[in-house]
Each structure stands twice: as structure tokens, then as C-alpha cells.
Amino acid sequence: MLLDRIGKELLIFDGAMGTQLQEAGLRAGDIPEELNIDRPELIVSIHEKYLGAGADFITTNTFGCNELKMQESKYEYRDMLRAAVSNANEARKNAGREQDAYIVLDIGPIGQLLEPMGTLTFDEAYDIILSQVETVKHDVDAVLFETMSDLYEVKAGILAVKENTSLPVFVTMTFEQNGRTLSGNDPVTFVNTVQGLGADMLGVNCSLGPAELGPIIEEILSVSSVPVMIQPNAGLPCLEHGETHYHVTSDEYAELMQGYLKDGISAAGGCCGTTPEFIRKLKAASPKKAAPRKIEKKTRVSSQTKTVTFGDRVIVCGERLNPTGKKKLKLALKEERYDELVSEAIKQDEAGADVLDVNVGLPGIDEPETMKHVVKLLQEVITLPLQIDSSNARAIELACRYYNGKPLINSVNGKDEVMEAIFPIVKKYGGVVIGLTLDEGIPLKAEERFEIAQKIIAKAAEYGIGKEDIIIDCLTLTASAQQKEVKETLKAIEMVKKLGVHTVLGVSNVSFGLPNRPLLNRTFLALAMQAGLDLPIINPLDKELMGTIDAFHVLFYKDIDSESYIRNQSNAAETKAAVQTEFSLHDIILHGLKDEVEAKTREELEKKEPLVLINEVIIPALNVVGKDYETGKIFLPQLIQSAETTKKAFEVVKQCFTADAGEEKGPVVMATVEGDIHDIGKNIVKVVLESYGYRIIDLGKDVKIEKVVEAWKKYQPKAIGLSALMTTTVISMEKTIQRLREEDCSCPIWVGGAVLTEDIANSIGADYYAEDAMASVALLEKLI
């Protein structure tokens, strides 16, 4: 059995398919997957070479073989999938490796951005991947999602496989030199989410060479409790004489990989630039057994781009997205005015919350659908992990399904029927669950609550849920009604902590019915933290409560050198002004509040001239967004949200201009070059440039040279931007630039894409290179 070998033996993957196909004559613009039918003998021979070199896995030639990417292929994508698997199977038979080598279905990125960054829905992504898997699921041994850059797409893929097959699932993401994927996922968040979803092996591939991937691999190894695989490139790409080359040799590659093998890698192979010789050298230098790893399992919850780890400090859960006792929020939910929730979430985020509780339970509303909608809406603009709070199992299920990350689930209790309803959801979606120490009622004694906590932990273990994914709520009782039992809660915390789990309390419950509630709340909070409380659910806008936590961190040596305390409390006396109740246009752009921007822009236009509004509010807000993106404060999803929000503001402002007012900048022509069907990067740059008021002429993807030349002559653009993702299409970019120059194109040409560097841009005749969207903005602001 394959799963019996993973994590025990050191298994070897194959190397690059594309590199081999290029050496065999694959040209820019050719569709590699078509060779499964046109030249099956070539594909079979490549697989055989890798098997002969010692590979235990061969990955099918199906990286882009989905219904979206293959729309322009001469073959139906399912036929190419079947042919690819048939070729792999033939190679395995020819090599005599039917008993000890495995065929892995290779699935790359779909090719379109998922919501909220793009228009592809989670369900559409799921269906696209499911169709690929269903076509060949009986003829492969595992499924590999590789070169992935969006955790949401990965989640759709894992669920599509796990819900419809019994195949093992492997996932490798591609990280950039800043240590994050294109959509902002960091290694810890990737591991925390993917291992929770049940991936059988995870790791990193492509993007960088084995030396450059060191910090990322090290971080993955330090947190992953499932086997880890790596498939680096043969170094960084260089363009020489119109061709992409990788300069790490097979000997150097095998040597560089040795450190990772000793650190506990379970499977290793190669990506771009590697060949059967690389795999042969790697196999020869590799031990038979995977080195053991000791991982300290920690409680972690994640959003798409942020992971919160329990244990080092007290984690604050914001309580204000709960309609209980909040008339304004109740009305907003009933009237489906979800902007109220988004605004409240942003305020709690800015006030210092680490996690946000989300509860939409109200009579008369469809709680499951409302919860699903609110979770999707919040994760568009908030980077904090969410706590899904409901007593409705269907609401929890839907929220977990569409949540991008590893959720905190509130909650279960000691009743068997509740645990049997909720634990399967927790396990399937890899969440962390809160267990309430009650069954038929709230026990008065700490010992009784402790017994229920033990029962919850034991029952969870039957579902494969470990202690690291359980937080126990010892229940806050009201001092006005049950004064004697308040100290039992504190005692229960101390007892439960000895079980090896973290604890949570809704702090403000203690003060109901008594005067000066804040005094009781912060005093009880201090006592509870001393007893071992890890996750207080509080109002983070209460500065005195938050200050109590800051002080506790100092006094219990959790805030080294009092850094956080000094930062948060130095201006405490000056920052007791009333909480902001309405967002300005600047804030709306900053937070990407698309539903609020048009009305606010019209309101501002009643007070400011259009150009003044643009120059003094809109552009400065965008510049802040750009700076936050460049410094890693926000990531691609938030950048795109802000850009789309700004576009809406500009549309309103434009209505105030006359035709000759000259408010629009450009035009600018953009295109993904001939032979390249990947236009995600180009589309991101387009959205951001449009948000700055540029008129973009988008020629699309796989654009022939003649079409770019025609656009130059027709539109006389102020600049031309060319994009390429594939190494094989850099030559198309060079030819496009050459042809434009032959046609006396005098406007600046800038280039970008994953395979480009400034050196490559210079070598192919481009005037400028831009690493990303914000770099493109900075460049055009200088040029136009």
C-alpha cells in the first residue's frame, strides 16, 4: 500500500516534464497535453527514463488539462487525460515497475482567480477539478496538486478528491522569494490548513532552486505533522540566446538536497530544469528510509493569509459579531445589510482582536445560508481567522466548507448527539473545536465540568481529532445569580489545563445584572488568565480590557522587554476618544468596501471638486494600499479588493467630468504573449492600473504578434505591457518587442511575469521590468 510507505521510506518523484518536451521540440504555443495523443511514444519514453533513474512516482502529463485551459485545444480534455494515464501505465509496464511504482494524476492551477480575487466561484473550481479526477480515478494511484498559489483552490481540490474517491492526495505550493505564494499564503498557514483537510503529503515545488527554498522548506518541516515532499527547480532561470537555462548541475542538485533529506523529507524530486540524470543522482545519494521528525503539535487557526498560534500569549476573540443583545446588529441581519457586520469586523481588527466570533443566529432568517454569505463576505476584507459560532450543524457545515483557512468552530458540548453531529464536520474540514463543559445543564462544580471535558476529548479522539484541535470552555457564570460558582470556573480552568488543552471563556457573562460591569469584567479576566485562560471572548474596543491583557503579558513574561505593552499603552491616555462610527472614503478604499464606496463618493462630491477628490483622497488612499502591499501588511486579495473599490469610485467621479477634461490616463495596451495561456498576472496588473485611472486596452492571452502591432497603430498607447508565465514563451515576448521596434514603435514597453527578471527583460529588448502590480503603477506614474 502506498500510504504504508509514505513517511517511512524515502520515496523519489520524477523530474520536469516540460524540460524534456522542450528538448524534444516543443515550441512556444504548443499545448503539451496534446502530445499525449499526438506523440504517445515520446511521453512513454520520458516516463520510462524517470522510472529507469529510480523514480517511485511518475506524474501524468496533465498539468493544465482542465476544461478552461484546454478550450482551444483540438482534443477534448477528458480524452487527453485518459491518454496521459494510459501512457504512464504503459511506461510502468515497460519498465517492469507495476508493483513498486505509482502513477500520480498531475493537476496544476485552473488558470483563473477564485473569488474574491477573481470571478471563478469555489463551487465552479470544485466541479472543474472533480471532472478531471472522475475521468481517471480508477486508473491512478494518487492525485498531486502542484505549483499551486491559492489556498482556496487547493481546498476545492482536496474536497473534490476526498469526497469522491479514496485516492491519496498530495499538495505542493509554489512560493515566491518573499516567502509567500502569489495570493499571500505563508508556509505555516498552508500547512495548518492543508493537513487539517486531510492531505496525505504536502510540500513545495517550482519557483526557486533547492538553495533558495531553504527557509521555506525549513518552516514547513517545523510545523507539518504529515509527510513532506519537495520538488525544487534546477536553480533560478536564466535566458541565454532566446532559451531558458538552469545552471545547477545534477551533482550540485543532489548535494543540495542532502540536508533536506536528513531533516526529514519523505519524498523528493525535481521541477523545472531537472532531468532523469538529476533523479538518478538524487536516488543514488538518498537513504532508503525517511529521517524521523519530532513535531510539537500546537493549536493553530488560520485565515487565508494569517495563522494564530495558541500557547505563547493570550489570544483575543472579538465578540461583537453576535446579535445577542445588539438591536442594531439584529436589524441589520434581518434587513440583509451586511455592511454593518463588515464595518464592525474592521473596527475589532483595528482594535487588536486576533480572531473574530461570527454568529448570525436569529429567528426568522435562514441561518445556514446567512452564515455562509457572511463568512464569504468577511474573508474578502478581513485577514483575521474566524470563529464560526452556531448551534445549527448545517450552518457550521456550510461556513466551514466556504471558509478559506482552518476555522475555529464554536461549539460542541457533552451531549452524545451534539458531538456525533459536529465532530464529523470538524474532522472533514480540519477545524479547531470549542467544547462546552455542559450536558443536560451547566454543572456547578469544577470537578463535574472537568469530567465533561474528559468526555469531549475522548469522544473527539474516536473521530481522529487530537487535543491540539480542541479548546475547552469552562463556562462563565453570572456573579449576580451564581456568585458562589464563579470561582468554580477558575478552578475548572486550572484542572482542564492539566489535560493538555487550551481554554476559552466568554468573559463579560460574569457581570450581567450588576453595576459598573467593566470593573468586574477586567478583574475576572485577570483572574482567569492567571488560572490559565488562553482565549477570552471579549469586546476588543474596550481599551481597559485590552490593557489588562497587555499588562498580564508583561507580568507573566510573555511580552519580552514589554515591547507590545509600550507600543499599545504609550498613547493610551490620548486615545480614549469615541469609537469611529462611520468610515471615510479613504477608509472605504483602504478596506476594500465595494458596497459602500459609490454612495460615499457621491456624498464627498457634494463637498469637493472631482479633481480635488481624486488627488487629495482617492490617490493617497491607493498609495497607502500600495505601500501596505509592498511591506507585507496586506496581500493580493486585499490589494485587488481595494483596486476594485477604487474603480467604482472613479466611475462615479467620471460622471462629473466633461469629455475633454483629461481625467483619464493612457491608453495603455496589455497582452499575454503568443503561446502563453496564463493571464492571471496580467489581469491583476490591469485591475490595479485601472484603479489608478488608467485606460487599459486588454488584448487578452495567447496574443499573436500581429495583433499587438495592430493595437500599437490603432490606439497609439502611452505604454505597452507584455506578460509571460511560461519559460517557453519568453522568446515570443522577445519577438513581439523586435517586431514593434521594426514598426517604429516608440512608446515604452514593460514586461513582467513569473519567469521574468530584470536581466531577462534587458536581454530581450524591453525598456522596463516590473515585478508586480504596484511596481507597474510606480513605473507608469513616472512614464505617463
Residues annotated within a binding site for Zn(2+):
206, 271-272
Q: Give me the residues paired with residue 367 across strands.
A: none
Q: Would you say 494 and 532 are in contact if contact means Cβ atoms under 8 Å apart?
A: yes
CA distance 671 to 183: 21
Q: Which residues does 3 contact at the CB level (< 8 Å), separation at least 6?
A: 168, 200
The SS3 assignment for 13 reads coil
CA distance 456 to 435: 7
DSSP state at residue 183: T
| Residues in the annotated binding site | 206, 271-272
338-349 burial, b at 16+ Cβ within 10 Å, e below that, comes to bebbbbbbbbbb
581-616 burial, b at 16+ Cβ within 10 Å, e below that, comes to eebebbbbbbbbbbebbeebbeebbeeeebeebbee
Residue 381's φ and ψ, nearest 5 degrees, are -120, -15
Between the two ends of the chain, the Cα-to-Cα distance in Å is 62
Any idea which residue has 507585507 for its cell?
632
Q: Give me the residues paired with residue 670 across strands.
A: 698, 721
The SS3 assignment for 312 reads coil
Read off the C-alpha cell for 589. Answer: 478604499
- Picking from 136, 141, 143, 44, the residue whose alpha carbon sits closest to that of residue 95 is 44
Separation of CA 679 from chain center: 19
Any idea which residue has 445543564 for its cell?
441
Q: Would you say 239 and 730 are in contact if contact means Cβ atoms under 8 Å apart?
A: yes
Q: Give me the residues paired with residue 307 across strands.
A: 302
Amino acid at 270: G
- Picking from 294, 270, 292, the residue whose alpha carbon sits closest to that of residue 9 is 292
Q: Would you say 60 and 88 are in contact if contact means Cβ atoms under 8 Å apart?
A: yes
Read off the C-alpha cell for 236. Answer: 533560478
Q: Would you say 352 and 316 are in contact if contact means Cβ atoms under 8 Å apart?
A: yes
- Evaluated on CA atoms 260, 266, 272, 278, the torsion sign reads positive
How are beta strands 169-173 and 201-205 bridged, if at all?
A: parallel
> What one-character-per-residue DSSP string does 510-565 give?
GGTTSSSHHHHHHHHHHHHHHHT--EEEE-TT-HHHHHHHHHHHHHTT-SGGGHHH
List, as own/partner pairs, every contact residues 360-367 make where C-beta atoms lie below 8 angstroms and the sequence separation is at least 24, other chains included.
360/323, 360/333, 360/390, 360/395, 361/323, 361/389, 361/390, 361/391, 361/392, 361/395, 362/323, 362/330, 362/333, 362/334, 364/334, 365/333, 365/334, 367/392, 367/394, 367/395
